[in-house]
Amino acid sequence: MLNLRFSLHLILLILVLLISSSVFASPKLILQITVDQLRGDLPEKYMKNMGEGGFRYLKKQGVWYSNAHYGHANTETVVGHTSLATGADPAQHGMVSNVWFDRQTGKLAYNIEDQRYPILSKNADVDESTEVDSSQRLASSDGRSPANILVTTFSDELSLTTNAQAKIFAVSVKDRGAVTLAGHNGKAFWFSKSSGEFITSSYYYDAYPEWVTHWNQKKKNQAYKNKSWSLLHKQSTYLYGKEDKASGEVDIAGFGTTFPHKYGSSDNKYFNNFLTFSPAGDELTLDFAKTIISAEQLGQDNVTDFLAISFSSTDYVGHIFGPSSLEAEDNLLRLDRTLANLFAYIDKHIGLDNTLIVLSADHGGPETPAHLKKFGIESGYVSPDKWDKAPAVTRLKKQFGIGKKLIQAFFPPYLYLDHDLIKKKGLQLSKVEQAVAKELMGIKGVALAVSSSALENNQLPDTFLNRAALRSYHNKRSGDILILFQPHYFINDFEGEIMAVNHGGPWNYDTFVPVIFAGSGLKQQRINHKIEPIDIAPTLAKIMHTNSPSGASGKPLLDIINSLK
């Protein structure tokens, strides 16, 4: 009888152990990686020369969604980052564009600008714009905060669920890449091109933590002075090894269009910009992220922490050289090494089995017109600055009795009309909007021009473009007319910007991004059915048993949730 009881107890103990071992333990760290302008096909396109620890690790060990597309029309940086953070469309989260014209203040608004919270560093004010990042230059103050995000992020919900015990950090070269994913209660840091430091605003801290000051004092950007961005491998091994002198690439401030790209002296006012135009920007971001993990002891207790890293170099390289260039190829190979370095560091200090990784992108990007034309594909640039003098608009101004400039400004993707002029003429704004939109539809390169009054009243046929436009429309922030360009047409000159390519449209090359989950014991899967990147935040919420972000319309990915049970 005693042996029988002992056997029964042993069996019960084994069952308890089996059941408990099959229950998913919450990760110690959620690592959300966003690669700016990483079109969904690029990692595998360039994987031949990649190592084992970065993208190959994600492919061999992770769940790789190969058909993820955004559904909104304006595929810009802040829009995509906020959509990833909130699981919502811009129609809900409110970040409709990198900049928008605020009719109430009469000023242009930079997405995360907030004069109430100035930058902590006196020598790192709002950076002088470069030709590939002019939207930040348009900010009128150096203050930064997430106040313009109108709904909660996943990181907000994690903080609410844990009563602020979860440590939440985000870092990026771009301020909008960090602030959006840190949410309303996390800590955000970004790279200052004027000082070469990682900085933050008084929204997050009254003064820098000692570890941040210590990192900045090391001046790690100086390690690149008088050096060059050179090829990682022998040039003949690259897919685009014979095309270093490709047409359509842009030389910004002497950085050049062929290898090696010289960083030059640190006294050059473009020195820190050059770092961000190359893999160096991601390498500095990685170093600072590793410092966050160590200094803040992320993943070292029983409360799940959250770290978001947005790697920005792919975006700058894509704008300047195009995604099918020797520079883009080498940059991805070096990003692969950066990811491998990051994963190895986390495995050593936290454990990859204790870490849930999710990697995606804020948007994709088009090919250069020069590259497409070699393959017989029509492509070109659009010049909105000439629209006010176009014959169609000139006819409209004559019809309405308007002798002055009717089109006040164009900040992609929105056209702004002169409301004061329209009111002075006693005209109805909605009729002028619709008339201008109709005429613009006849301009080469324009696929859709739709008035805000039509979007507000949803007086539109159910088409792909109209659905994308509606998902981008916010009645207090969108302009008077939404402009969507035809496939492979875009602006390359806006507010002084000269670039090889520019993303921002609703077409597959702009909406297609990777979505990959790995770590936490996930097994390799490749999933080809269509999903949206806005599904990520609700998925993380389900995994962590938090509320879904308040504006989220994405759906939890059951492939991931069921795999973690």
Q: Is 290 buried (19+), middle (13-18) or exposed (0-12) by CB count in 10 A?
A: middle
Please report, for residues 153, 191, 358, 518, 563, the alpha-carbon distance to residue 544 in angstroms, rounded to integers and kept in the order given.
Answer: 14, 31, 14, 16, 14
**Sign for the pseudo-dihedral over CA of 134, 140, 141, 145:** negative
b/e for 506-538, b at 16 or more Cβ within 10 A?
A: bbebbbbbbbbbbbbebeeeebeeebbbbbbbb
Longest Cα–Cα distance in the chain: 104
Architecture of domain 383-443+446-485: 2-Layer Sandwich (3.30)
Quick check: helix, strand or coil at residue 430? Answer: helix
DSSP per-residue letters across 2-13: HHHHHHHHHHHH
Nearest-angstrom CA–CA distance, 62 and 432: 52
Beta strand 305-311 pairing with 168-172: parallel
Picking from 94, 96, 80, 85, the residue whose alpha carbon sits closest to that of residue 39 is 80
- Phi first, then psi, for residue 7 (nearest 5°) are -65, -40
Contacts of 143 (CB under 8 A, 6+ apart): 113, 114, 115, 116, 117, 118, 119, 201, 202, 203
Give residue 5's pLDDT: 53
The angle at the Cα of 93, spanning 492 to 559, to the nearest 5 degrees, equals 95
Picking from 85, 64, 150, the residue whose alpha carbon sits closest to that of residue 111 is 150
Angle between helices 313-321 and 326-349 (to 10 degrees): 170
Nearest-angstrom CA–CA distance, 507 and 468: 10
Asked if 274 and 136 count as a contact pair (C-beta separation under 8 A), the reply is no
pTM score of the predicted model? 0.94
Give residue 240's pLDDT: 98
29-372+506-563: which CATH number, 3.40.640.10, 3.30.420.40, 3.90.1150.10, 3.40.720.10? 3.40.720.10
**Domain boundaries of the chain, sorted by first residue:** 29-372+506-563, 383-443+446-485
Nearest-angstrom CA–CA distance, 127 and 122: 12
Residue type, 93: H
b/e for 425-459, b at 16 or more Cβ within 10 A?
A: eeeeeeebbbbbbebbeebebbebbbbbbbbeeee
Specify the DSSP class assigned to residue 535: G
Helices (H), 153-195: 154-161, 175-182
Per-residue pLDDT of the chain (565 residues; tens, 9 = 90+): 445 554 545 444 444 444 344 445 899 999 999 999 999 999 999 999 999 999 999 999 999 999 999 999 999 999 999 999 999 999 999 999 999 998 888 889 999 999 999 999 876 655 544 556 666 666 667 899 999 999 999 999 999 999 999 999 999 999 999 999 999 999 999 999 999 999 999 999 999 999 999 999 999 999 999 999 999 999 999 999 999 988 999 999 999 999 999 999 999 999 999 999 999 999 999 999 999 999 999 999 999 999 999 999 999 999 999 999 999 999 999 999 999 999 999 999 999 999 999 999 999 999 999 999 999 999 999 988 889 888 988 988 898 998 889 998 899 999 999 999 999 999 999 999 999 999 999 999 999 999 999 999 987 999 999 999 999 999 999 999 999 999 999 988 644 557 899 999 999 999 999 999 999 999 999 999 999 999 999 999 999 999 999 999 999 999 999 999 6
Nearest-angstrom CA–CA distance, 518 and 273: 32
| Whether the bond into 384 is cis, omega within 30 of 0 | no
Tokens coding 121: 């560093």
How far the first Cα of the chain sits from its last, in Å, is 38
Give residue 37's pLDDT: 98
